[in-house]
Each structure stands twice: as structure tokens, then as C-alpha cells.
RNA sequence: GGGUCGGUACCGAAGCAGUCAAACGGGGCUGACUGUAAAUCAGCUGGCUUACGCCUUCGGGGGUGCAAAUCCCUCCCGGCCCA
């Protein structure tokens, strides 16, 4: 794995045109780069559609690719439970198993254990958990195991196992959690160095900065991880319920600690304006369930203008009665197959009658929106406008 | 013609004298989703009102009773059975 920043435009400074908040036109730290993996290059900043269980829900990989995605995210936790990483390995690796030729990032499963395990116990060893999904069996995922699974899957970008503390949490809890996450990160790195030798895929390993909403803890976490020299750094534990302002603060504290020549990944984000703000804050990688999940729930993102100035999009609920006889295309600025071929009234009808096609068309559009957003972001950076 | 069961809000369906504007489903409306458990979850769904509350409803009409969707009489409509 290799990351290279592209030459920045001279007029880099502040960008009034994309200032998200009047009067807060801070200097943009936006970066354009190229991330090279065993499965191809990715232009940064980028957005990763989520294919948790080796599928971007409702779409084929051909479709995901044609919408402009260069990388997708899959999940260690889910694939470990089903169908099992050994089986995926037997299938020739995740890329071959799911017919995705491009790069894949796998999340470690730390977040899932935090968000959805029925019963879990976190200890120095790792995470013990039980889940209904396999009939209530007990599992132990150690940092080493998380790496082993991801290597077996053949992932291009591997995440360390971390603990994602809930919000709110006490400073004491956050501090102890962060220290353990660092120790886990160290173990992951060790395991990775040994085991990745044998794998065909030249994977990268990314550390995850924690520390909840506490400035000194966030900085401490970042420094510890940078000291361990990972291939990239993620900021985790955000968008877990904390106020918006806190997230901006976290970014502001952590970013200066991260090496310039490594990719930065803001995990789980976000709304278009949050991604834009984070790009300006120096982040390169994003993933979020918003476009795909909300699509399945009828929430669609549409452009209100061609550039990224001001309020550039609208988030509508296609099931609203106002679209009943709206025969306009969903989004007049969008080139996606959904917008080129179908009307709002038809989409609403599909949702209201529970036709599966509605979920697909909506997912196609929302992903197109997010991927186009990133394209505009990249172009904007190149022109020094972001 | 006789018998019998039934007619409840948009639909289906509980309730069978007071705690009923009336359970529960569906449908409809609105909202939420941020390292995907969930094609999921939440709220509203007689009228007026922010609310307290008030008003109009349980096929139509008429009774009994302090009080009726719930009891009685009658009419209308529907299902089934017998002629």
C-alpha cells in the first residue's frame, strides 16, 4: 500500500465559496492524493460504499463500480460469523468471492461489538461476545484474531481492533479505553508484520485514534499511534451521539498530530456537509451507511445546484404525498440511471407498494450522489476552491 | 315467507351499560437513521384546540335509565340455513 499527495494548487488558503459557516472561514487543510493498493489506485479524498456482508445492499459490484466507487468497505465481524473467513479464503479471497476487483477496506469489528452484540465482555485479551446470528455461540476476537481474519479475507486496508467508547463516557473510562486500544494496536501491528509476509495482497494497516471528546486524550492517542508507525490513521469514536461541535473539535485536535504523508480516515462519516468539513479539516477517507440505508428508507439526496457552495443539496422523503403525481426526474442534475429513466412519482409508487426495485433505484441514486459529491470535492481541491 | 347471525372510525376487527373518541391489524400521513442486526424504528391517524377541554360518532328512528357502541322496540341493509 502506498499513499502519495498530489501537488496542491497555489491558491490554497481559505475558500469563501465553500465556507460552511459564515465567519469561520478557516484555512483549508484539504488534500488531493492517490492511494495505491494491490487492487488498484484510489483518488483521495474518497467515499467507501459499505458492503458489510460482502454485498453493497441491493446492488451488484458492476453497478457499484459504474457509479464511480473505487473502493468498498466490508466487515470483519460479519464475515467472520458468516460465512466464516476460512470459507472466504477458500473461495479465493473476498475480492473473488464477491466479484469486486478494486480495493477493499475491512473494518475490524470493534464497532460492531460496541453497537450490536447481545452480550459482550471487553478485556485486555480482546472482546468476548455472543450473538443470536449463530445461535448464541461464544466468540473471542483478540487483536491478533482480527488481523488474521482480515488477512484471510484478503483485505487491502486492514483496521486494528479498537474499543469504540460510547458517548457520553467519563474521562476515566475514555482514558483507560484509549490505552487499551493502543496496546491492542501494538499487538495488531506485531501480528500483521508476521502474518502479512505470506499473503499475496500487500495490505496496509491503519491505527484508530480514540479518546472520546477529551482533548488531551485525543492528542495522546494520536501520538501513541503515530509512534507505532501505521500505514494510515483513522479517527474513531465520532458520530456516536456527541454534539456536532465536538466532532469538529476532535478533528482540529487530532489532525495536526497525524503525519502528512499517510492517509487519514474519519470513520463512519457522514452527512454531505460533515464530509465536506472533514475534507477541509484534512481527512482523506470516509465511509457511512447513510446513503445506502437511507435510500432503503426512502430518504434521497438531491442536488439543488451544481457546485458545492451554500446549501447545495436537499434530503427528501420520496414517500411523501407531495410526490404522488410528480413526474419530474428525481434529481435534475444527476446523471445516474435512476434519474435518467424514472420519475419521482414512480419511485414513490415503488416504495408505497413495497417493490424491491424501489430500494435498488434509490440506492443507486444516493450512492451516485455521494460519489459525485466526492468527485466535486476532488475537483474543488484541485482548483483550490476547497 | 320462516329461522338465524351480523351491521363499530379509510378497510378488517375487538368492545357488549359508566374507567369509550372506542383495543388491535392493515392502510394513510410525518419523522428518524452517521466504522449497516433490522426493505428497520418512532409518532400521528373523528372535529376544533398548543394544552386543559369542548363538540359530533359505533346502520336509521324511537325508548329505558343518573349514564347506552353496549339493554328494549321498530325500520333499513347484508351473510347463511329452511321453505
DSSP string, A309-322: SSS-EEEEETTSGG
pLDDT at A134: 76
Q: Which nucleotide's C1' atom has the smallest distance to the CA of A244? A: B34
Distance, CA of A275 to chain centre: 10
pLDDT at A10: 55
Between the CA of A316 and the C1' of B26, what is the distance in angstroms?
26
Residues 323-352 of A with CB under 7 A from strand B: 324, 352
pLDDT at A266: 97
Task: Encode chain A (386 residues) as per-residue pLDDT tens digits.
Answer: 899 999 876 554 444 344 444 444 568 999 999 999 999 999 999 999 999 999 999 999 999 999 999 999 999 999 999 999 999 999 999 999 999 999 999 999 888 877 765 678 889 999 988 877 777 788 899 999 999 999 999 999 999 999 999 888 999 999 999 999 999 999 999 999 999 998 888 999 999 999 999 999 999 999 999 999 999 999 999 998 888 889 999 999 999 999 999 999 999 998 999 999 999 999 999 999 999 999 999 999 999 999 998 899 999 999 999 999 999 999 999 999 999 999 999 999 999 999 999 999 999 999 999 999 999 999 999 999 99
- Residue A281 sits in a domain whose CATH number is 3.20.20.105
What is the domain range of residue A105?
2-287
Strand partners, A206: A159, A232
Q: Which nucleotide's C1' atom has the smallest distance to the CA of A109? A: B35
A299 and A171 inside one domain: no
Give me the catalytic one of A231, A284, A287, A331.
A287
A267 and A377 inside one domain: no
pLDDT at A111: 86
Query: Does any strand B atom come closer than 7 Å to the Cβ of A269?
Result: yes
> Is A216 annotated in the active site?
no
A232 and A303 inside one domain: no
pLDDT at A98: 97
Other Cβ atoms within 10 Å of A43 Cβ, number: 16
Query: Does any strand B atom come closer than 7 Å to the Cβ of A231?
Result: no
Residue A140, SS3 per DSSP: strand
Other Cβ atoms within 10 Å of A97 Cβ, number: 19
Predicted TM-score (pTM) of the model is 0.93
- Distance CA(A292)–CA(A198), nearest Å, equals 35
A211 and A349 inside one domain: no
Query: Does any strand B atom come closer than 7 Å to the Cβ of A107?
Result: yes
pLDDT at A17: 43
A161 and A115 inside one domain: yes
- Retrieve residue A123's grid coordinates: 478485556
Beta strands A33-37; A2-5: pairing state: antiparallel
Distance, CA of A187 to chain centre: 23
* Residue A83: cis peptide before it, omega within 30 degrees of 0: yes
A341 and A279 inside one domain: no
Q: Cβ(A276)–Cβ(A317) under 8 Å?
A: no
* Domain end (from A272, A287, A302): A287
Between the CA of A345 and the C1' of B58, what is the distance in angstroms?
37
The count of structural domains within chain A is: 2
A275 and A293 inside one domain: no
Amino acid at each position: 500500500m502506498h499513499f502519495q499527495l498530489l501537488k496542491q494548487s497555489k491558491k490554497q488558503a481559505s475558500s469563501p465559496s465553500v465556507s460552511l459557516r459564515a465567519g469561520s472561514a478557516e484555512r483549508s487543510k484539504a488534500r488531493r492524493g492517490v492511494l495505491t493498493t494491490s487492487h488498484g489506485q484510489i483518488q483521495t479524498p474518497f467515499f467507501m460504499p459499505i458492503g458489510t456482508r460482502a454485498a453493497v445492499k441491493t446492488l451488484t459490484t458492476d453497478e457499484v463500480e459504474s457509479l464511480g466507487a473505487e473502493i468498498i468497505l466490508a466487515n470483519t465481524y460479519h464475515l467472520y460469523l458468516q460465512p466464516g473467513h476460512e470459507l472466504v479464503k477458500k473461495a479465493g479471497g473476498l475480492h473473488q468471492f464477491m466479484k469486486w476487483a478494486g480495493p477493499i477496506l475491512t473494518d475490524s469489528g470493534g464497532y460492531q461489538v460496541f453497537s450490536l452484540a447481545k452480550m459482550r465482555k471487553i478485556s485486555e485479551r480482546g472482546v468476548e461476545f455472543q450473538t443470536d446470528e449463530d445461535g448464541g455461540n461464544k466468540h473471542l476476537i483478540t487483536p491478533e484474531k482480527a488481523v488474521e481474519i482480515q488477512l484471510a479475507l484478503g483485505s487491502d486496508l486492514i483496521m486494528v481492533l479498537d474499543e469504540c467508547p460510547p458517548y457520553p463516557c467519563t474521562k476515566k473510562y475514555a482514558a483507560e479505553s484509549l490505552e487499551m486500544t493502543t496496546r491492542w494496536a501494538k499487538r495488531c501491528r506485531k501480528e500483521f508484520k508476521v502474518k502479512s509476509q505470506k499473503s499475496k495482497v500487500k495490505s496496509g494497516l491503519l491505527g484508530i485514534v480514540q479518546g472520546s471528546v477529551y482533548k488531551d486524550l485525543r492528542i495522546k492517542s494520536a501520538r501513541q499511534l503515530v509512534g507505532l508507525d501505521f500505514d494510515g490513521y483513522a479517527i474513531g469514536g465520532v458520530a456516536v451521539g456527541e454534539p456536532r461541535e465536538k466532532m469538529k473539535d476532535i478533528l482540529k485536535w487530532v489532525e495536526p498530530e497525524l503525519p502528512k504523508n499517510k492517509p487519514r480516515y474519519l470513520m463512519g462519516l457522514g452527512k454531505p456537509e460533515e464530509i465536506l468539513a472533514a475534507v477541509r479539516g484534512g481527512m482523506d477517507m470516509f465511509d457511512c451507511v447513510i446513503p445506502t440505508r437511507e435510500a432503503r428508507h426512502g430518504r434521497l439526496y438531491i442536488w439543488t445546484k451544481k457546485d458545492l457552495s451554500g446549501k447545495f443539496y436537499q434530503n427528501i422523503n420520496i414517500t411523501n404525498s407531495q410526490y404522488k403525481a410528480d413526474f419530474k426526474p428525481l434529481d435534475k442534475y444527476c446523471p445516474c440511471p435512476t434519474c435518467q429513466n424514472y420519475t419521482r412519482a414512480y419511485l414513490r409508487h415503488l416504495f408505497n407498494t413495497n417493490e424491491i426495485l424501489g430500494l435498488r433505484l434509490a440506492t443507486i441514486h444516493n450512492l451516485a450522489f455521494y460519489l459525485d459529491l466526492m468527485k466535486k470535492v476532488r475537483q474543488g481541491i484541485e482548483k483550490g476552491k476547497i
